[in-house]
Amino acid sequence: MAEARDVVFVDGVRTPFGKAGGVYRETRADDLVVKAMRELLRRNPNVPPSRIDEVAVAATTQTGDQGMTIGRSAALLAGLPSSVPGYAIDRMCAGAMTAVTTVSSAIMAGQIDLALAGGVENMSRHPMGEGVDPNPRFLAERLVDPEALLMGKTAENLHDRFPLITKDRADAFAVGSQAKTAMAYAEGRIQVDLVPVAVSDGEQGWGLVSVDEVPRADTTLAGLAGLKTPFRPHGRVTAGNSSGLTDGATAALLAGADTAAELGLTAKMRMVGFAFAGVEPEVMGVGPVPSTEKALSRAGLSITDIDLFEINEAFAVQVLAFLDHFGIDDEDPRVNPMGGAIAVGHPLASSGIRLMNYLARDFEHDPSARYGITTMCIGLGMGGTVIWENLNHGSAA
């Protein structure tokens, strides 16, 4: 049996993220991901479109402009040859992450050489839970706690499970995310991976979206302290210490290391390994803990080997539960150096590749870092983790 091939992350891009009901309210979801895919190909002219073996695109709500086997339809809309196949993926928030790990598995096995992975969510057009029809057995047979179906309530449950994670800590983490995002913008580190998107508005005409709509650099602890707790009276989860409802798309180019070398592509990261794990659905936010433990074990690494962490900030409490488990300080500079989803938003299925884009930039900024992880919690009680190696490790800054 042949040895597994190395898989490399060649490049990744994303649209700016917009508020649900905001700049993308009249923009089709498939057009968003096509925009990201076309920009990715434009930035990598050494990639012959006919050499792309697979296109995997994720969406959580797979209907309307997010349906019709969106990986295939987006490939055709992006101008790829009709010989390039594609498919759709749904693993809720980890859709794009799963698109990456799925095509990477095929590359590792030698079945394909080059692939596009992507994710999109237009929550303006497809609100969370649209068209969902949970099987009555979930509740009648107590297979799933009723609160597992409301993500905000699962976050409150996580606060219950870990009482040392207070609202004050969650708010402080949220302020830090906003501040780091503002700093990353000021340094020009976020904009380099953003794809400007032309949008139309029935009243205002055409416009160009070139930056994220969601960040609030003026966020303060005092401002967060007074926000309502919509999921529980006198709760701890607010709009300020959670990611907002957001629209956006991401795309990434993955290749076998040998194929990247053949085509003269400069890869950013090597995939070391990945893992997904399940937890009780009503505390889904703790999912990244077992998925990270599993991924580290499979790779023969420990948490002390990890130099950088990109953790999806679905809720501050979820990140803090991860940090507490692994003995990492709330303000550790290795964690989300450019901020995260609390500031820029979390367009569900697209966020996994946003994390990877950020980690690639983290690696570029800190060549002394060798290993990093991208990890996220997933609805219905799961976590996903991918471990990456910095291909510029040890090079001069």
Express each pLDDT in 88-134 by its tens digit: 999 999 999 999 999 999 999 999 999 999 999 999 999 887 888 88
Residue 385 domain-assigned (yes or no) = yes
**In whole angstroms, what is the distance from residue 347 CA to residue 313 CA?**
12
**In whole angstroms, what is the distance from residue 300 CA to residue 186 CA?**
38
Residue 249 domain-assigned (yes or no) = yes
Q: What are phi and psi of 198, to 5 degrees?
A: -80, 130
Whose CA is closest to 353, among 43, 81, 102?
Answer: 102
Residue 30 domain-assigned (yes or no) = yes
Residue 160 domain-assigned (yes or no) = no
Q: Which residue has the tokens 């040895």?
A: 3
Contact between 282 and 159 (Cβ < 8 Å) = no
Q: CATH number for the domain including 24?
A: 3.40.47.10
Residue 104 domain-assigned (yes or no) = yes
Instruction: Give whichever of 226-230, 232-236, 352-356 has the largest mean pLDDT.
Output: 352-356
In the chain, the percentage of residues whose pLDDT exceeds 90 is 89
Question: Per the structure, how many domains does the chain have?
Answer: 1
**Res 266 pLDDT > 60:** yes
Q: pLDDT tens digits for 299-337?
A: 999 999 999 999 999 999 999 999 999 999 999 999 999
Q: pLDDT tens digits for 7-46?
A: 999 999 999 999 999 999 999 999 999 999 999 999 999 9
- Under the banding of pLDDT at 50, 70 and 90, the label for residue 1 is very low
In the prediction, which pLDDT does 204 show? 77
Contact between 69 and 105 (Cβ < 8 Å) = no
The model's pTM: 0.96
**In whole angstroms, what is the distance from residue 309 CA to residue 247 CA?**
24
Give me the domain span that covers residue 282: 7-124+244-389
Residue 152 domain-assigned (yes or no) = no
In the prediction, which pLDDT does 396 show? 56
CA end-to-end distance (rounded Å), the chain? 40
Indicate which residues carry an active-site annotation: 93, 346, 377
Determine the average pLDDT of the residues in 340-364: 98
